[in-house]
C-alpha cells in the first residue's frame, strides 16, 4: 500500500497528514507536488488543508486546475480512496468529486478549536472503526467551512446516507444540516472540514481521528486480500 499526500502552493497541513499516515498506518507515504501527472502508483490519495494558491478567487477554485487534479479524478473513478481535509474538501467540491460548496463561516471569523462531531455513517472505508452515532472530538481550523448545497442535493445526500459527519452541539460555521463531512455515492471519496490528522495521539488533546486512518488501512487490506500476523 502506498499513500500520496498532494501538496499545492499554500498547503500547510501536509506535514501533519504525512506524519499521521506514518505513525498510524505504518505504510509508505510520499509528498506529491501539484504538477504531478501520474498517480497510478498510489492506492490512497490525500488532499491536505491549507490555503492553496492563497485562496485567491475562491477556496480551492485555482487548485482544481492543477495538473494533479486530473489524476485525482481518475483515481476516484477507478475506485481508489480519496480524502480531502479542510482545503482539500473545498478542492474536491470545486473539481466536482463532491457536491455543494464551502462558504465563509457565518460568523465571518476564522474558527480554530476542538469541535464535537457525530459519526452518522460508519459504513464507509474511512469510518468503519467507529460506531454509528458515536460522538468524537476533532479539531477545526477554517474560515470558509460553511457547507452549502441546494435542497435537492441535500435530499439526495440524506437519502444516500452520504452525510458522514455532523457537528454535535455547536455548529461552528453555520453549515447546512450541521454537515461536517460527506462522501460520494460510491463511498470512496470523502471530504470533511475537521482535521483528523491532528487528533491521532492523546497528547494532541484527542486521538479520535486515529480510527479514520486505521479504517482506511483495514479497507485496503480486505480489498487486496492482505493478511496480517500477530
Residues annotated as catalytic are 86, 195, 197
- Find out whether 47 and 90 touch, Cβ atoms under 8 Å: no
Angle at alpha carbon of residue 142, lines to 170 and 54, rounded to 5°:
165
What DSSP string runs through 161-187?
T-EEEEE-S--SS--GGGEEEEE-SSS
In this structure, what DSSP letter does residue 117 have? E
Instruction: Write the burial class of residue 218 (CB in 10 Å: 0-12 exposed, 13-18 middle, 19+ buried).
Output: middle
Three-class secondary structure of residue 145 per DSSP: coil
Q: Which residues are CB-neighbours of 50 under 8 A, at least 6 positions away?
A: 8, 10, 11, 12, 13, 14, 86, 87
Amino acid at each position: 500500500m502506498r499513500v500520496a499526500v498532494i501538496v499545492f502552493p499554500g498547503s500547510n497541513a501536509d506535514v501533519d497528514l504525512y506524519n499521521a499516515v506514518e505513525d498510524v498506518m505504518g505504510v509508505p507515504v510520499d509528498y506529491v507536488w501539484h504538477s504531478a501527472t501520474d498517480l497510478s502508483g498510489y492506492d490512497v490519495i490525500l488532499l491536505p488543508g491549507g490555503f492553496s494558491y492563497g485562496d485567491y478567487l475562491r477556496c480551492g477554485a485555482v487548485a482544481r486546475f492543477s495538473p494533479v487534479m486530473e489524476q485525482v479524478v481518475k483515481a476516484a473513478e477507478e475506485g481508489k480512496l480519496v480524502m480531502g481535509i479542510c482545503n482539500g474538501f473545498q478542492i474536491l467540491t470545486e473539481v466536482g468529486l463532491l457536491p455543494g460548496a464551502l462558504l465563509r463561516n457565518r460568523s465571518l471569523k476564522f474558527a480554530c478549536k476542538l469541535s464535537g462531531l457525530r459519526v452518522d455513517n460508519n459504513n464507509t472505508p474511512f469510518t468503519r472503526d467507529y460506531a454509528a452515532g458515536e460522538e468524537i472530538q476533532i479539531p477545526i481550523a477554517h474560515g470558509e467551512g460553511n457547507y452549502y448545497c441546494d435542497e435537492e442535493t441535500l435530499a439526495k445526500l440524506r437519502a444516500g446516507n452520504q452525510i458522514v459527519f455532523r457537528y454535535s452541539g455547536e455548529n461552528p460555521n453555520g453549515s447546512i444540516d450541521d454537515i461536517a463531512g460527506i462522501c460520494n455515492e460510491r463511498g470512496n471519496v470523502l471530504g470533511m472540514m475537521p482535521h483528523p490528522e491532528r487528533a491521532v495521539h492523546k497528547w494532541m488533546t484527542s486521538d479520535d481521528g486515529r480510527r479514520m486512518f486505521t479504517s482506511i488501512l483495514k479497507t485496503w487490506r480486505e480489498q487486496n486480500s492482505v493478511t496480517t500476523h500477530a
